[in-house]
Structure 1
Amino acid sequence: MLIQSVIAAAREVFSPALRSILWKSLALTAALLALVWLGLTRLFDYFLTNHPLSTDYPILDGFAFFLAGFGLFVALIYLLPAVTAIVAGYFLDDVADVVERKDYPADPPGEALPFGQAVFYGLRFAALSLLVNLAALLLFFIPGINIGVFFVANAYLLGREYFELAAGRFWTQEAVTQLRMEHRGTVFAAGAVLAGLVLVPVLNLVTPIFGAAMMVHLHKRLVARRLADGRAGGPVRLEVGRRSS
């Protein structure tokens, strides 16, 4: 199920139907990363120039600037999930509309989240990702733990948030939470795919579009299997939890 969703998303992310959304996503991601980089460089430059430990020895100062540049690069890697979270929240409904119309034409279309709720979800997603990755960044210099913490934390966070964004087009928050908890292992595995993609240079820029498409497919497959197994009921009936148009 997850493998089919990954393959379907990989096939569609560069397709003509999603190409215009992909280019917009890349442009927004690049712009946000540039703003983050500019802000961090200005902050580090101010700190290194005005810090009392600043020396009169050009070699030492140059070495300090080199270390600061490396630190900025590492910080940018850890901040990338938060940036992609903002982009994902902005473009998910556009991606979902295309995927649902193309691959699930017989199903009722999802309902785009209200603008205020979509903004809230996007900002919440980005804030949580920022906090998690800043915490992971503190463990950067502990070998064997740093990458593991980064990967596991982002696998959980990306899986949960992308899934809730996709499923939230059809169900109330209560029903979405129930569905996610019932399939927590699959959702975490999907998040692990996204966390792995974030670690791949260049390809990580397509994470928002790929993640949105993959979760749309995964949500559709999970609901279809749930209904096929006769599990429409439960603590919260999905039919009762359906969002009203």
Structure 2
Amino acid sequence: MLDAAVKALSQILSPPMRSILWRSIGLALVLITLLAFGLQRLLSWFASSGEVWLDGMLGPGFDTSINVLAWIVSILAGLGVVFGAVFLMPVITSLVASVFVDEVADHVELEHYPAERPGTALPFGLAITEGIKTALLTLLVYLVALPFVLVAGAGFIAFFIATAWLLGREYFELAAMRFRTPAEAKAMRKANGGAVFTAGLFIAAFVSIPIVNLATPLFAMAFMVHMHKRLSGPRPELIEPARKTRVPVA
């Protein structure tokens, strides 16, 4: 697994990958700006109007909890786009990955598995749908963990574990679906849940590094292409017959 991570890291800066890297960074920055601004507006609304709405809906018995939550949200809203950029990066990478999944996988397969049949490009609609589903699920999980951010670091631990599970799940299935049906890819991911989650920890660590995490879609997809190959084991039906080399007669 460590070898697969090293291979992925070394390849994302290779000349064939640079065009994808710059395009993915540009798309990520646009999405970060839009989503962070939207999050900041949502948090500002909750800090001002949402507290009254919750108090009226839940009743006086929840006053203390609502006040604490409103206080936390007020701090987060003050951090604005900076907080949003950090908080939303795993969400962003899910969306960006769905656009560049096949380009990255093609380069990895061509360089490291040239003797094997290349994967089939995912239908664009399927890739985008998977990216949006993961992004929404990630956002939901993060919002649930948000109140615990300032509780002895519990929120950050929850974020890290959730990121490992969510992104590991998404990228592995995207890599697997180049060779399998969506149902088969999900079944394989579940059958290898421990390995996929452990691989997801590498991605969670990568996405937690500011600036560097803009390259997460490339690293994560390249990494999971290797993981899928290794977990698939020998597959003779995918290996093309070796070309015979003609030896010149003296």
Q: TM-score range by the shorter chain?
A: 0.7 to 0.9
The one-letter amino acid of 1:181's match is K
Distance 1:52 1:115, change over 3 A: closer
Q: What's the TM-score once normalised by structure 2's chain length?
A: 0.78
Distance 1:19 1:46, change over 3 A: same
CA deviations over 1:27-76 (Å, ceiling 9, x no partner) = 000111111233344556677799999xxxxxxxxxx9876332653343
Q: Aligned residue for 2:69?
A: none
Q: Aligned residue for 2:159?
A: 150
3-state SS of paired residue (1:116): helix
Alpha-carbon RMSD:
2.7
**Counterpart among 78, 82, 91 of residue 100 in structure 2:** 91
Question: Hey, what's the Cα distance between the residues in 2 that align with 1:50 and 1:155?
Answer: 34
TM superposition shift of 1:79? 1.7
Q: What's the TM-score once normalised by structure 1's chain length?
A: 0.79
Q: Aligned residue for 1:12?
A: 11
Greater CA drift, 105-114 or 70-79 = 70-79
TM superposition shift of 1:6? 0.1
CA deviations over 1:98-152 (Å, ceiling 9, x no partner) = 1111211111111111122122111111111111111122221211311111111
* Aligned residue runs from structure 1 range 1-245, under 5 A: 2-42=1-41, 68-70=77-79, 72-224=81-233
Question: Hey, what's the Cα distance between the residues in 1 that align with 2:47 and 2:154?
Answer: 29
Question: Hey, what's the Cα distance between the residues in 2 that align with 1:21 and 1:68?
Answer: 33
TM superposition shift of 1:11? 0.4
TM superposition shift of 1:198? 1.7
Which structure has the greater CA radius of gyration? 2
* Contact kept? 2:93, 2:216, Cα under 8 Å: yes
Question: Hey, what's the Cα distance between the residues in 2 that align with 1:100 and 1:160?
Answer: 20
The one-letter amino acid of 2:25's match is L
Distance 1:156 1:43, change over 3 A: closer
3-state SS of paired residue (1:185): helix
Greater CA drift, 37-46 or 6-15 = 37-46
Question: Hey, what's the Cα distance between the residues in 2 that align with 1:131 and 1:65?
Answer: 19
3-state SS of paired residue (1:109): coil
Question: Hey, what's the Cα distance between the residues in 1 that align with 2:26 and 2:81?
Answer: 21
Extract unaligned runs of 5+ from structure 2: 53-72, 238-250
Question: Hey, what's the Cα distance between the residues in 1 that align with 2:47 and 2:183?
Answer: 49
- Identity within the alignment, %: 43
